[in-house]
Structure formats: structure tokens, C-alpha cells
Chain A
Amino acid sequence: DAGVIQSPRHEVTEMGQEVTLRCKPISGHDYLFWYRQTMMRGLELLIYFNNNVPIDDSGMPEDRFSAKMPNASFSTLKIQPSEPRDSAVYFCASKTDRGGEKLFFGSGTQLSVL
């Protein structure tokens, strides 16, 4: 299994531009999570899905952030418009319903908003 795949690995954009981050979870996993990591705040849970349905998006910072999971093998996190304070590493993770708290993380997307 290739693990959780995220793209792009790095993204540099200018303030005001739309940014789309992509994630392919491990096949057969029921849950998908989006996290953001910064030096100041550590790892923050933004939103998570169960069977493609958003369960809790209370961690999404603002309306500028949106996440979708159109099918079991793909999810996107979109920021529109982007701001410099959105600069962070964004991780996607997935797990099975039987996996307890054992999450499998992708390699992350390093986002820089200039």
C-alpha cells in the first residue's frame, strides 16, 4: 500500500490566490482527517470525515477554508482567498473504523502564502 498521498508537496502562492490541497487516503479507510501544523499552535485538527461525510469542522479557522470528500479515495482542502497567516504544513490522515486512534499520516503539504 502506498500510504496516504498528498499533493502538492510544496505550494508557494501570493496572498489572495486560491489554494487547493489534495489527499488520497489509504484504500479501505473509513475516516479522513485534515490537520494544520505551525510552530506557534502545533498540530491542529481542522476537519474530519467518516464515510465521506463531514463529522466535525469546528477546527476550520474561517469561512475561507472549505473541505470536500466527493468519494472514498479523494479529498480536497481549499483556501480562498489565501492569507500569509495560512502558511503552515497541512497534513491529511486516515484510519479504519476498527483502528482505534491509529492514524496514518501523509507527508504533508508545505504552504507558503507571500
Chain B
Amino acid sequence: LAKTTQPISMDSYEGQEVNITCSHNNIATNDYITWYQQFPSQGPRFIIQGYKTKVTNEVASLFIPADRKSSTLSLPRVSLSDTAVYYCLVGDRLPQTGANNLFFGTGTRLTVIP
């Protein structure tokens, strides 16, 4: 059973800020929210992880509202090289995490247009 819902695809022009929202209505208290990026012919790559409020790193920002039922990945000033599939995962950090916590789903295909 999928725990997250994301748009199938998005387009953006170069230089724009891109926000991809993920719904996770059934998120549990212990669950963290993690985003991955996948380029063609490569394995997914970790982007960012958070639990609540806002997390920022050198690549992206992650915004999580108080109810944690959704999250938004924000990519500042995208370039053509940001064209990829972006996955949102929800899962807890306990060692015996179940398989569902590492379910990638179909992700959001972002296309950056020149």
C-alpha cells in the first residue's frame, strides 16, 4: 500500500524555483520524510531528509507543515541538469523498519526547459 502521493510530472523553465509536493496523510509519529533524485541509467541519489518544519542543505530545502501530512521539496533556480525523477519516501528510523518504509513509488518526473 503506497504511503505517499506525488504528481506524475512537472515542467519548469531554467532558473525558476521548483516546488514538488508530496502527500502522506497516514504518516506515523516516528516517520521521517526523505527525498531522492534519479537520473536516467543511474540509481537514486539521496537529496534531503526531515521530520518537521524546514530543512535546508546545499541542494534543496524541505518544508514540512505542522500536521506533517504533506511535504514540499524546493529546488532553487533549476538548471537543465536537474531534469530527473524525484521520489518522496516516508519511513521511521528504527532498525527493524518494515519494507513499506522503503517504498519508492513512481515519483515525479521533472523536466527543465531551456
Contacts and interface: CB of A to CB of B under 8 A. Distances in A.
Interface of A: 4, 33, 35, 42-43, 45, 48, 50, 55-56, 58-59, 91, 93, 97, 100-108
Interface stretch (B20-28, B59-67, B73-81, B85-93): B85-93
B45 A101 contact: no
Interface secondary structure of A, over-half rule: strand
Interface of B: 32, 34, 36, 41-46, 49, 87, 89, 91, 93, 95-96, 98-99, 101-107
A56 B46 contact: no
Nearest to A31: B95
B93 A100 contact: yes
Nearest to B95: A97
Given A45-B104, A102-B49, A108-B43, 14 more contacts: A43-B44, A43-B87, A43-B104, A45-B99, A91-B43, A100-B32, A100-B34, A101-B49, A104-B46, A105-B44, A105-B45, A106-B43, A107-B42, A108-B42
Contacts of A35: 104
